[in-house]
Amino acid sequence: METASLRNNRDGKENLVTEESKAIVKRVSEEAVGGGDLSVMDELVADDFVDHSALPGTPPGREGAKAFVRVFHAGFPDLSLTNEDITGRGR
């Protein structure tokens, strides 16, 4: 069973923020971006993912996101990330 918490958005309506969504963000940031494990992105990032701030020449979709991580790790090979708190709000 999925654990969820309710949050209030600015107009006072309740939104559902699931623990599953937070776990996905944590895995992508820590394991893929921080740890360089691109297989996590194959598992969790949609193939039709759109990065609205992608650098020119970056391939579209999941492959573009993976390309960003590769370039980032080339510049910062010892990078590691740790999420201490993840917040979110529903639609």
Please write the tens of the pLDDT for every residue from 59-82: 999 999 999 899 888 999 888 888
Question: Taking the CA atoms of the chain, what radius of gyration do you get in angstroms?
Answer: 15
**Do residues 43 and 65 make contact, with C-beta atoms less than 8 angstroms apart?**
no
- Is residue 1's pLDDT more than 80? no
The tally of domains found in the chain comes to 1
Predicted TM-score of the model (pTM): 0.68
Residue 55 placed within a domain: yes
Which pLDDT value is given to residue 87?
80
Residue 84 placed within a domain: no
Residue 34 placed within a domain: yes
Per-residue pLDDT of 21-64, as tens digits, reads 888 889 999 999 888 899 999 999 988 899 999 888 989 999 99
Q: How many CB atoms lie within 10 A of CB 8?
A: 10
Q: The domain containing residue 23 runs over which residues?
A: 4-8+13-75
Which pLDDT value is given to residue 13?
47
Residue 35 placed within a domain: yes
